[in-house]
Amino acid sequence: MSLFQMKWLRRLVRQNTKPIPEVEALKWKRRLSLMYALVAWNAFGFVCYMAFTGKGDWAHYYGYKSDEEKHESQALQFSKRLNVEKGKIIRYSGFKKVEELEFDNTKEK
């Protein structure tokens, strides 16, 4: 069973296509799974290569993010993206409060 059951799509495909033999379907399933494995392996290798060569933060590497933005915390970046003007960021480690930082994004506008 699929997550989204689109019975109308299944019915449409079954009405407009002819069934293929089971052996043929198995052969194509194997071919597609092999192709998927090769693409996934190459994508994994590319991500490892980018991380190893220091290009893991691609936005900074290609100039979409400044040095100042790179060193900001993720909470501060999200507050800017969500247009939160003033607020407080509290960071916890375990059950202990590690840092409390107030920010004001109205100065930058």
**pLDDT by residue (tens digit) across 30-65?**
999 999 999 999 999 999 998 888 887 878 888 888
Determine the straight-line distance between the first and last CA of the chain, rounded to whole angstroms. Answer: 51
Percent residues over pLDDT 70 in the chain:
94
Residues near 36 by beta carbon (within 8 Å), at least 6 away in sequence: none
Q: How confident is the model at residue 81 (pLDDT cuts 50, 70, 90)?
A: confident
Q: What is the pTM of this model?
A: 0.50
pLDDT in tens, 4-36: 688 888 888 889 999 899 999 999 999 999 999
Q: What is the pLDDT of residue 59?
A: 82
Compute φ and ψ for 33, nearest 5 degrees.
-70, -35
Q: What is the pLDDT of residue 70?
A: 84
Closest CA to 22 of 33, 34, 30: 30
